[in-house]
Amino acid sequence: MEIHLGNTVIGGKKKFIFAGPCAIENISQISEIAKFLKDYSIPGLRGGTFKLRTKPTSFQGLGEEGLKLLKEMGDAYGLITITEVATPEQVQLAYEYVDVLQIGTRGAQNPYLLKAAGQQRKPVMLKRGMMMTIEELLWAAEYIIEEGNPNVILCERGIRTFEKETRNTLDLSAVCILKEKTHLPVFVDPSHAVGLAAYVPQLTKAALVAGADGTLIEIHPEPASALSDGAQALDFTAFSKLVKELREETISFTI
Ligand code: PEP
Ligand code: MN
């Protein structure tokens, strides 16, 4: 299924990339990123505004101020914007500012949030809950669709397993299965899956080869000083190298 956003298509023949910071921190950070994406012809800008952090002492996001910055950047650079919403109230608020609403791994199991996302008309990227089976993810999508919003993008973002070397375990088989079982676009977020920037490029390529329609990648101009998820953020050099490689050829075989 194709989702049309202005002149842009998600779930069509071309792969789609959303990139941006884990959290919008201030205007200079997000405008530097937005300009960089525009220069590299990347169509989508992500940016967390209402963050769901494990620790209450961690940076919680700029809230509505962040939404305003995201809209400003989307308008200024012609980028498709996405941000996470965690409550029905945030769905209503973000509706005014962004192009795509994101339901995160923690929100994916909240039927009240899913229904609220189904009652509005912007596309919804639904991430897989970190403990969700593929079947449960599909039921979560059904909550949104049943309310009248067919524009759901599924996103594999890693699941919790016994493995501790990586933040989560990227379940690439979910991509194959979801592509077969549904007509919905399927994305992969390699950043939250692996949690380590060094492995994000390889996993992005693997996801696209497995059939993903697009990816959601965290980038930051200065990952070491990021207020959240710095360890998994690609800097501009690493991200532009990845984009160049993706454009040249997704994978090359020496056989
Ligand atoms: C995010 O994309 O900002 C995020 C918090 O992801 P997840 O819900 O997958 O952890
Ligand atoms: Mn993050």
Q: Cβ(173)–Cβ(200) under 8 Å? A: no
Q: Distance (Å, rounded) from C-alpha 151 to C-alpha 104?
A: 16
Distance spanning both ends of the chain, measured CA to CA: 35
Q: Calculate how far, in angstroms, residue 252's C-alpha sits from the geometric centre of ligand 2.
A: 30
pLDDT of 255: 66
Q: Calculate how far, in angstroms, residue 78's C-alpha sits from the geometric centre of ligand 1.
A: 24
Q: Distance (Å, rounded) from C-alpha 133 to C-alpha 78?
A: 36
Residues 101-118: what's their mean pLDDT? 98
pLDDT in tens, 180-202: 999 999 999 999 999 999 999 99
Residue 66 has pLDDT above 80, yes or no: yes
H or E element, residue 119: none
Residues 75-83: what's their mean pLDDT? 98
* Coarse DSSP helix, strand, coil percentages of the chain, rounded to the nearest 5 percent: 40, 20, 40
Residue 250 vs residue 178, higher pLDDT: 178
Ligand 1 atom with minimal separation from the 128 CA: 9
pLDDT of 250: 64
pLDDT of 249: 75
Q: Distance (Å, rounded) from C-alpha 84 to C-alpha 67?
A: 10
pLDDT in tens, 17-48: 999 999 999 999 999 999 999 999 999 999 99
Q: Calculate how far, in angstroms, residue 151's C-alpha sits from the geometric centre of ligand 2.
A: 23
pLDDT in tens, 11-22: 999 999 999 999
Residues 217-231: what's their mean pLDDT? 98
- Which ligand approaches the C-alpha of residue 127 most closely? 1
pLDDT of 132: 98
Residue 55 has pLDDT above 80, yes or no: yes
Residue of 85, 101, 157 with the most ligand 1 atoms within 8 Å of its CB, for mutation: 157
Pairing of strands 3-5, 8-10: antiparallel
Q: Calculate how far, in angstroms, residue 105's C-alpha sits from the geometric centre of ligand 1.
A: 6
Name residues with Cβ closer than 5 Å to ligand 2, which is an ion. 22, 229
Residue 254 has pLDDT above 90, yes or no: no
Residue of 22, 114, 130 with the most ligand 1 atoms within 8 Å of its CB, for mutation: 22
Residues 100-118: what's their mean pLDDT? 98
pLDDT in tens, 126-139: 999 999 999 999 99
φ/ψ of 153, rounded to 5, equals: -110, 125
Q: How far is CA 110 from CA 13, 125, 168, 250, in A?
A: 32, 14, 21, 36
Ligand 1 site residues, Cβ closer than 6 angstroms = 22, 48, 84, 104-105, 127, 157, 189, 192
Residues 115-143: what's their mean pLDDT? 98
- Which ligand approaches the C-alpha of residue 49 most closely? 1
pLDDT of 177: 98
pLDDT cut 90: percent of the chain above it? 96
Ligand 1 atom with minimal separation from the 105 CA: 8
Residues 218-225: what's their mean pLDDT? 98
What confidence tier does 251 reach under pLDDT thresholds 50, 70, 90?
Answer: low
Instruction: Please give, one letter per residue, the 3-state secondary structure of 165-182.
Output: CCCCECCHHHHHHHHHHC
- Which ligand approaches the C-alpha of residue 216 most closely? 1
pLDDT cut 70: percent of the chain above it? 98
pLDDT of 157: 98
Q: Residue 144 CB: number of other CB atoms within 10 A?
A: 25
Average pLDDT, the chain: 97
Residues 44-61: what's their mean pLDDT? 97
Residue 253 has pLDDT above 80, yes or no: no
Residues 204-213: what's their mean pLDDT? 96
